[in-house]
Amino acid sequence: MRADPGGSARPPRALGAACGIVAAFAGLAVAEPVAAVVRPEASPVTAVGAVAVDLTPQPVREWAIAVFGTADKAVLTVGILAVLAAVAAGAGLLAVRRPPAGIAVAGGFGLLGAAAALGRPQGSWQDALPSLAGGLAAAGALALLAAAARRPRPARAPAGGAWALNRRGFGRLVLGVLAVSSAAGLAGRRLGAHGSAGATASRAGLVLPPPAVPAPPVPAGADLRVPGLPSFLTSARDFYRVDTALVVPRTDAGSWRLRIHGEGVARPLSLGLGELLARPLVQHDITLCCVSNEVGGPYAGNARWLGVPLADLLREAGVRPPSRGGPADQLVARSIDGMTLGTPVETVMDGRAALLAVGMNGEPLPFAHGFPVRMVVPGLYGYVSACKWLTELRLTTFAAYDAYWVRRGWARQAPVKTQSRIDTPRPYAALRPGRVAVAGVAWAQHRGIRRVEVRVDGGPWQQARLGAADGVDTWRQWVWPWEASAGPHMLEVRATDGTGAVQTEVRSGTVPDGATGLHRVRVQVRALG
């Protein structure tokens, strides 16, 4: 930031841009404590991010998931901050020349954030407050900074309108704005932690009742313990996470309620967590997977779930499946953050272990995986069955209502497709000739896995050894000993499900109802020396 030696009447551009960015920082920081009080999801960047997530066209969304994977949310936040910084710099430039215009841009951004927050599902008028406060703070800070930047240095007030910065005064003001807004931001963070403390304590204090129907122990041979294979049961820490929530909803178990209502519901229900836990609980091992998983991709995990059989609850509410004359064929689950997922009523009531899960691997659900209650239905992709942070179940028809992802081009019906994956060796691994353990997992939930075969360089299919089956609702590990010869090789795998159907080789993308095709891994085998 250098005063123009030529003595122009205007502050330099860099100074204006800096004013804008400092003002934007003040706006975001001041919004924090307000969001902490109102709702964490209502903070300006989160609200704008959520709208961006909803509006992102399907191809861009898939590209982002493919490129960034589970880091897609962090990338989105950085992107929003980058755009904000650019606009802020522009507003600052404008403000040191024409103060009202620049300040209007800053305030306008606050309004944009407020509009984004108001447009969220289940948004209320208070959701606008964080962005409004932030916009006011940014506009105010920018007004002060721009005025200081325009004010000439008193000692050598140049005649003829030449501009020179009052460095001291301006520097103090910048430091002051940064200090005040940082304090506000930090206070907001602490308030936020305090706000979710009740939910955290309610989870820590939750004692899950023992299951009335426990799952049998996992068979000894289910885990083949081949290096490079994921463990048979996936810990919560290693479990993939796929959702649209930019802030993980944290609900106090004490205030949670579930409403069951809609078409053909003779006796609508409203249950608290205590009432749910008082019912007989069952424990069941279920592999969950995501429709956006590419062939060979990582979005599958296997857990021991504890929950209430959903069919019992529905029957108690008087619901009949379509095959028994019920009017509703779709069960729409709604989450606390407004996500909707539609599941076939027939599937949920056909006798499989469709659960309202409260426990995962012996613990209450982690917040990221749906605390306090989520749905899990063996055999269906997550987006049509596995609603996290569940709060409402509504009976309707597929003809009458499209859930969130269906409106975005995904299929209404999405049973899991038979998949198999090579976990080891890794793609492009450098191997030595001789015995190599080729191993992975295969899944076809609710049909089970009967056979897995491997082939090398398009040769004959060779049968792999399977890990012990833990029911039909979980994945199965497999291993095949390969006598590797020197040279480049391509490994391929295919599975046969419990009905005898062989996994298709036809390649298709994830949209609209799950990818198909064989997982291939290329490796390089080289002799020593």
Using CB under 6 A as the criterion, which residues of the chain lie in contact with ligand MTE when the complex forms? Answer: 239-244, 288, 290, 335, 337, 339, 369, 382-383, 386-389
Q: Of 181 and 335, which has the nearer Cβ to ligand MTE?
A: 335
CA 206 to chain centre: 25
Q: Report the nearest approach of ligand MTE to the CB of residue 242 (Å).
A: 4
Q: Report the nearest approach of Mo ion to the CB of residue 405 (Å).
A: 8
Q: Of 334 and 476, which has the nearer Cβ to ligand MTE?
A: 334
User: What does 334 bind: ligand MTE, Mo ion, none (CB cut-off 5 to 8 Å by kind)?
Assistant: none
- H-run or E-run covering 426: none
Q: Of 65 and 484, which has the nearer Cβ to ligand MTE?
A: 65
CA 95 vs CA 140, 161, 162, 228, 396: distances in Å: 12, 18, 18, 58, 54
Q: Of 30 and 387, which has the nearer Cβ to ligand MTE?
A: 387
Taking the C-alpha atoms of residue 384 and residue 333, their distance in angstroms, rounded to an integer, is: 9
Q: Report the nearest approach of ligand MTE to the CB of residue 338 (Å).
A: 8
CA 33 vs CA 39, 132, 353, 391, 418: distances in Å: 10, 13, 43, 27, 48
Q: Of 92 and 415, which has the nearer Cβ to ligand MTE?
A: 415
Instruction: Report whether 353 contacts 286 (CB < 8 A).
Output: yes
Given the DSSP bridges, would you call strands 390-396 and 257-262 parallel, antiparallel or unpaired? parallel
Residue nearest to ligand MTE (CB): 382
Q: Which of 146, 290, 365, 393 binds Mo ion (CB under 5 A)?
A: 290
Q: Of 65 and 89, which has the nearer Cβ to Mo ion?
A: 65
Q: Which of 19, 50, 165, 242 binds Mo ion (CB under 5 A)?
A: 242
What angle (nearest 5°) sits at the alpha carbon of residue 380, between those of residues 378 and 385? 90
Taking the C-alpha atoms of residue 308 and residue 313, their distance in angstroms, rounded to an integer, is: 8
382 binds Mo ion (CB under 5 A): yes
Q: Report the nearest approach of ligand MTE to the CB of residue 17 (Å).
A: 37
Q: Report the nearest approach of ligand MTE to the CB of residue 25 (Å).
A: 31
Residues 417-436 close enough to bind Mo ion by CB under 5 A: none
Q: Of 170 and 389, which has the nearer Cβ to ligand MTE?
A: 389
370 binds Mo ion (CB under 5 A): no
Q: Report the nearest approach of ligand MTE to the CB of residue 114 (Å).
A: 24
Nearest-Å Rg of the Cα atoms of the chain is 29
Residue 222 zone, left/alpha/beta (φ > 0; ψ -120 to 50; rest): alpha
- H-run or E-run covering 371: none
Instruction: Report whether 387 contacts 334 (CB < 8 A).
Output: yes
User: What does 339 bind: ligand MTE, Mo ion, none (CB cut-off 5 to 8 Å by kind)?
Assistant: ligand MTE
Q: Report the nearest approach of ligand MTE to the CB of residue 456 (Å).
A: 32
State both tokens at 311.
């069919």
Alpha helices in 42-98 (DSSP H): 44-55, 58-68, 72-97
Q: Report the nearest approach of Mo ion to the CB of residue 59 (Å).
A: 17
State both tokens at 424.
């080891």
Q: Of 150 and 284, which has the nearer Cβ to ligand MTE?
A: 284
Stretch that binds Mo ion, among 137-145, 239-247, 345-353, 430-438 (CB under 5 A): 239-247
Q: Of 410 and 478, which has the nearer Cβ to Mo ion?
A: 410
User: What does 369 bind: Mo ion, ligand MTE, none (CB cut-off 5 to 8 Å by kind)?
Assistant: ligand MTE
State both tokens at 195.
């706000």
Residue nearest to Mo ion (CB): 290
383 binds Mo ion (CB under 5 A): yes
Backbone angles phi, psi at 370, to 5 degrees: 115, 10
Of 111, 170, 138, which Cα lies nearest the Cα of 20? Answer: 138
User: What does 394 bind: Mo ion, ligand MTE, none (CB cut-off 5 to 8 Å by kind)?
Assistant: none
Total residues in contact with Mo ion, by rule CB under 5 A: 4
What count of residues does the chain have? 529
Rounded to 10 deg, the angle between the 167-195 and 197-204 helix axes is: 30
Instruction: Report whether 351 contacts 369 (CB < 8 A).
Output: no
Q: Of 31 and 416, which has the nearer Cβ to Mo ion?
A: 416
User: What does 20 bind: ligand MTE, Mo ion, none (CB cut-off 5 to 8 Å by kind)?
Assistant: none
State both tokens at 351.
């006798």
User: What does 64 bind: ligand MTE, Mo ion, none (CB cut-off 5 to 8 Å by kind)?
Assistant: none
Instruction: Report whether 134 contacts 42 (CB < 8 A).
Output: no
> Could you write out the three-class secondary structure of 212-274?
CECCCCCCHHHCCCCCCCCCCCCCCCCCCCCCCCCCCCCCCHHHCEEEEEECCCCCCEEEEHH
Q: Report the nearest approach of Mo ion to the CB of residue 191 (Å).
A: 33
239 binds Mo ion (CB under 5 A): no
User: What does 387 bind: Mo ion, ligand MTE, none (CB cut-off 5 to 8 Å by kind)?
Assistant: ligand MTE
Rounded to 10 deg, the angle between the 99-118 and 44-55 helix axes is: 60
Q: Of 224 and 288, which has the nearer Cβ to ligand MTE?
A: 288
CA 321 to chain centre: 31
Q: Report the nearest approach of Mo ion to the CB of residue 117 (Å).
A: 26
Q: Of 4 and 363, which has the nearer Cβ to ligand MTE?
A: 363
State both tokens at 24.
């934007």
User: What does 478 bind: Mo ion, ligand MTE, none (CB cut-off 5 to 8 Å by kind)?
Assistant: none
> Interface with Mo ion by CB under 5 A: which residues?
242, 290, 382-383
